[in-house]
Structure 1
């Protein structure tokens, strides 16, 4: 069995869990998520898999 993770869904999952645990950090978490996804898109790393 092989497990491969994409960066985008992994970041989304972590951001979602953090928003549920600490709702006051919503704007910070959303901003960091957008920065990470945008940087990965610009650098062409959106297909990076582990």
Structure 2
């Protein structure tokens, strides 16, 4: 798999979501879940 500009934003969203999960607060969980889902949709794993 080659990483292009189109794939970069979802990858960053997934990484940001995982990092936010490390510092748990309720808002952080909500934002992390949102970022992970958007990242997976952006990579085409979910439609």
TM range, smaller chain: 0.3 to 0.5
The normalised TM-score by structure 1 is 0.44
Of structures 1 and 2, the one scoring higher in RCO (CA 8 A, sep 6+) is 1
Larger Rg belongs to: 1
The normalised TM-score by structure 2 is 0.46
